[in-house]
C-alpha cells in the first residue's frame, strides 16, 4: 500500500532534502526514513516531490512510501511526530494508488521567498528570511517579474548543465507583496530546476536595487547562449509552500 505524506520543516540544521555522504549535517530524507523504518519495523525508503537545498524550508513538501500493512493514519502521524525532531513535522497522510509518485505525479509547485527590508535583522528569524538593508524599488521588481511568467527556456537561471526538457518550464503565477518592510515573493510553476527560484529572486533584487534594468533581465532570459545568472538569493529565505497533484 502506498501513502502520500505532507511534511513541514525548518531547513536550518539540515544539509537539504537529499542524503549527502560528505555532509556533517543530516538530511531531511534520512531523518524521516530512520523514523519511518523504526515505526514500520522495516527498512523503508521515501520518495520526495523534489529536492530542497541546505537551509531551505518547507511549508508543504511531499513524499510517498510503501507499507506492507494498512496504517492507522491518525496514530501513524502522531507516532512519527513524536520521534521526529521538533523542526520536522508530518502534517497529513493519505492512502494513494500504487501508480502514484510524489515527484512524477506532481502538476505544479509554489515557492515563497521572504525578505526583511531593514538594516537590522531580527535575531529570532534571521535564518528564516533574507535581511536586506537597502531600499528596494518594488514596482520595478513587479514589472521585471512579468518577464518570467509563461513558458520559457530557463537555462540561464539554473545550475543544471543538461535537462531532459531542454530547460523549458512554465511559470503560471508571480506575485510580490509588501507589508511593514516584510516582502514576500510567490512563484508558481509546473516545475523548477536547481537554484532556479533563487536565481530569479536574486535577479529581481538586482532590479530593485537599481543595478539591473528590465531590458537586461529580458536579454538574459532570452539569451540563446547558456550564461547562468550570477545573482542567487540566499537559501534561508526560500520556502516550498505547496505541491499540487
Active site residue 137: no
156 by Cβ neighbours in 10 Å (0-12 / 13-18 / 19+) ranks as: buried
| Residue with grid cell 535583522, as numbered in its chain | 121
Question: At residue 14, what are phi and psi to the nearest 5 degrees?
Answer: -130, 155
Instruction: Classify 110 as helix, strand or coil.
Output: strand
E strands in 97-215: 108-116, 130-131, 150-153, 168-179, 182-189
58 within 8 A of 8, measured Cβ to Cβ: yes
The length of the chain in residues reads 245
The set of cell numbers assigned to 196 is 532556479
Q: Which among 53, 66, 87, 127 is annotated as catalytic? A: 53
Whole-angstrom CA distances from 24 to 11, 31, 54, 141, 143 are 14, 13, 12, 38, 42
The set of cell numbers assigned to 101 is 509518485
User: Whole-angstrom Cα distance, residue 136 to residue 113?
Assistant: 15
DSSP result, 162-195? --TTTTEEEEEEEEEEEETTEEEEEEEES---TT
Active site residues: 53
Amino acid at each position: 500500500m502506498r501513502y502520500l505524506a505532507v511534511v513541514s520543516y525548518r531547513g536550518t540544521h539540515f544539509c537539504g532534502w537529499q542524503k549527502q555522504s560528505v555532509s556533517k549535517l543530516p538530511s531531511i530524507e534520512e531523518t524521516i526514513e530512520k523514523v519511518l523504518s523504526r515505526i514500520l519495523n522495516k527498512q523503508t525508503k521515501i520518495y520526495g516531490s523534489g529536492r530542497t537545498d541546505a537551509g531551505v524550508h518547507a511549508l508543504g513538501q511531499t513524499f510517498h512510501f510503501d507499507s506492507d500493512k494498512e496504517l492507522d493514519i491518525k496514530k501513524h502521524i502522531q507516532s512519527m511526530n513524536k520521534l521526529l525532531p521538533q523542526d520536522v513535522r508530518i502534517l497529513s497522510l493519505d492512502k494513494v494508488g500504487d501508480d502514484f509518485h510524489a515527484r512524477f505525479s506532481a502538476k505544479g509547485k509554489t515557492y515563497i521567498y521572504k525578505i526583511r527590508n531593514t538594516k537590522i535583522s531580527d535575531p529570532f528569524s534571521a535564518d528564516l528570511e533574507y535581511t536586506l538593508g537597502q531600499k528596494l524599488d518594488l514596482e520595478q521588481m513587479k514589472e521585471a517579474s512579468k518577464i518570467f511568467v509563461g513558458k520559457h527556456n530557463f537555462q540561464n537561471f539554473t545550475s543544471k548543465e543538461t535537462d531532459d526538457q531542454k530547460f523549458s518550464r512554465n511559470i503560471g503565477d508571480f506575485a510580490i507583496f509588501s507589508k511593514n518592510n516584510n516582502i514576500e515573493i510567490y512563484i508558481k510553476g509546473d516545475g523548477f530546476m536547481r537554484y532556479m527560484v533563487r536565481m530569479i529572486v536574486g535577479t529581481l533584487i538586482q532590479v530593485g536595487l537599481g543595478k539591473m534594468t528590465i531590458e537586461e533581465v529580458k536579454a538574459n532570459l532570452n539569451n540563446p547562449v547558456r550564461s547562468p545568472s550570477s545573482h542567487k538569493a540566499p537559501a534561508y529565505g526560500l520556502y516550498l509552500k505547496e505541491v499540487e497533484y
